[in-house]
Structure formats: structure tokens, C-alpha cells
Amino acid sequence: MSYLFTSESVSEGHPDKVADQISDAILDHFMALDPHAKVACETLVTTGQVMLAGEVKSEAYVELQDITRGVIRSIGYDKSAYCFDADSCGVLSAIHGQSADINRGVERTAPEEQGAGDQGIMFGYACRETPSLMPLTLDLSHALLEELAHIRKEELHLMPYLRPDAKSQVTVEYSNEGKPLRIDTIVISTQHDDFVTPQDSTPEAQAVADEAMQQRIAQDIRHILLPRVFAKYPEEMKEIFAGDIKLLVNPTGKFVIGGPHGDTGLTGRKIIVDTYGGKAAHGGGAFSGKDPSKVDRSAAYAARHIAKNLVAAGVADEVLVQLAYAIGVAEPISIYVATSGTAHVNLTDEEIAQRIHTLFDLRPYIIEQRLKLRAPIYQETASYGHFGRTPRTVTKRFSTGSQGIIEQEVELFTWEKLDYVDRVREAFGL
């Protein structure tokens, strides 16, 4: 029998994602000035207020207020009507030094023996549902909001009422073998201006105005947003998007109050959106604001890199990788693999895990070097998912008080590269 599965995403203007982007922007500035910095930065956003907290070990000085306001402005919170805007919000900092007890477990005389910054379990996943080797439910949820943000920022004449906060949710019907069959339901909730004026001050008139706004937004989502997003997928997937898709737009009827004014945001509160949309396990550790000595982040990237290269190489159609670490210990204490019966090699999952151990050096320092994680690459990860993204090289600019404007060329999303496919095929005899 078939079954339904659902994933969600949130936009860059969602309060939790605002917090993630501020944390990662601060991390990027430290990485740009001091690649060896140890950073754990948390952010809280609410009506007219930002609170920064965390621990840092670095000789660099960064302008926390300027960075925070720059992120908020770039997202689109630049009007007092939002009750949270870049120029008027308060920014409070409670960032302090890193614990020496933690640092002693990380730094070593021989860099390659660097210990894990904490204990924990991390997961990586890949499957053949989409070209990015990500679950379709999450891939499509992200794509809808990325395009909505593009329209809001670059083609506002199409949907001139859009505000930054938005959420999406996609339900897909799968066959008993786990193959996507069709899109069942799409939910879009997007913040908007109060762009229809009621005829008078009665509740009835307001209800009529609210319904008119909802109908306009729903029509635009159906006729502008959905066709643009569906067109980005390969021709062989077009059948999945055919048929009668249930579309729910702003189901409460109105979404004017949003962003940090409507809901307090915190760093690390969208870890399922950040990873695999619930299609794969999660170890519980958040990513944003953490330098790569924290294996919550770096080992999760390494696990995705492994899973994606195994699927791309043809080892299996679906791969879940779990890594586990102890604080201060360089080697992972366990490697687990599950292929859910989709393997194309005559090996058990345990034997596949053993070969992974010989193919990939999973010590934290080596992960940092292999994936080029000691660089200012993180703000781009803080919205629309850390996985399934396109690797690319960009030049980033950072404004610093002591050195003026500095530029760095960096590689983004290195863990999405398929640079181990040939080695995997050779190791597995494919």
C-alpha cells in the first residue's frame, strides 16, 4: 500500500532562521579574521530586540552590532511597521570566553589528533528521490520558499504584498517501495502587508477584506510560484507534479503579524528543516553558530558527504550514516550504516560501514581540512537547508574595524561534492 509523508521548511525571515543567520554571520566574521577561532554563538530575537550569548576563544575583534543589523537588513526587516527592523532594534551581547576545560580536550600538539569538541551522535543521509539526492518532500519545501524569497526581493511587482516570514509544507504519496508517486498537499503560509482596506470598521467588513487578501495570495501562489518551482525539476519527475494537488495558503486567513514580532526566534530550533525533513534520524545537535571543532556540525557534514557519495556511486539507493564521538577523542567511537534493503553490493551494512572507515578519515581535524571548514562559509547554510545545496566558489567581503574591508574566496557546501565517487566504486568493486 502507498503512504503519505510530509516535510516542512521555513524562510530566511522566520524568527528561528533570523537567529540562525545572525549566529552564523558572527561565526563567519571570526573565521575570516581568525580561522582557528573557537565559537559557539546563540541568538534570541523578539519584538524590537536581539540577544547574543555564547562562548568564544579568539584574538579577533568583530563588530557584533554591525553584523547583527546587517543580517537583519539583508533579510528584509527594514521597516518600522514590522516591529523589528535593522536600524531600531536593540542588540545586547552576553558573549564570553570559552571554558578551558572544553578547550583542553580539543587542542593538541599534533593537529591531526585534535579531539572532538563534545560527545554526541551525528547522521548523514542520501536517497535517489531528487537530483540533489535529498528527500523530495524537503527539497520541494525549500525550493518553494527560495523562489518566494526571490520574488519578494527581485520581482516584487509580481507579489508586491510579501513580507519576509514564511513557511511551507509538502506531503508526498509514496509507493510501498518508497518511490514518490505524486504531490498530495502543499501548504504555504506567507506574511503579507495589510493590502486590502475594509469598507468600514465593522468585523464583517474586516472579514471581507481578509478573505480578499487570502484569495489574491492563493491565486498568486498557484499561478506564479508553483509553476516556476515545478519547472526546475527534471522532465522525468513531471508526472509527480501532475494531478490535483491540494493547496492550502495562509490557512488561518491572515498573516500580517510575523517575524520576531509574532514569534520569538532562537538559534538551533529548526534542526529538522536544516537536515532531512524527518526522513532520516537526527542526533539532536544544532549547527548554526558553531565552529567546526564542534562535531555536531562538522561530523554531520562528513556523514552527509559519505552518504551522498555512496548513493551516487551506486552502493545503495538509500544510505543512512551515523557517527558517534566522545569529547576530547579524535577517532569516532562508532560508525553505523543502514541501506534499508536498497544495497547493490553483496555486503552487509556492517561490512559497508567497515569499508567507510578505511575510505574516510573521520578525525575532526581531518574533516575540517578535507571539507575546508576553517573558512567563513556558514551564513549561506543558515537558511533553506544545510544539505542538497550546490557547491560553488564565491568571494565574500567582511567589514572589520582594524583591517577595513577584507575579501576571501571560499568554497561553499563542500560536503555536497561527489569527489569520492570513483574511490567508492573502486573500493566496492563497482
Residues making up the binding site for ATP? 14, 165-167, 254-255, 263, 269-270, 286, 290
User: 243: alpha, beta or left, given left = phi > 0 and alpha = psi -120 to 50?
Assistant: left
Q: Express the helix, strand and coil content of the chain in percent, nearest 5 each.
A: 35, 25, 40
Amino acid symbol at 41? C
How many C-alpha atoms does 112 have within 13 Å on its Cβ side? 4
Residue whose grid cell is 477584506: 209
Annotated binding site for Mg(2+): 16
Annotated binding site for L-methionine: 55, 98, 263, 294
Report the distance separating Cα 240 and Cα 117, nearest Å: 43
Annotated binding site: 14, 16, 42, 55, 98, 165-167, 254-255, 263, 269-270, 286, 290, 294
Checking DSSP bridges between strand 246-249 and strand 180-192, what pairing results, if any?
parallel
Task: List the beta strands (DSSP E) in 134-277.
Answer: 162-174, 180-192, 246-249, 265-266
Report the candidate in 361, 270, 314, 250 with the shortest Cα–Cα distance to residue 23: 270
Report the distance separating Cα 261 and Cα 269, nearest Å: 17
Contact between 280 and 387 (Cβ < 8 Å): no
User: 190: alpha, beta or left, given left = phi > 0 and alpha = psi -120 to 50?
Assistant: beta
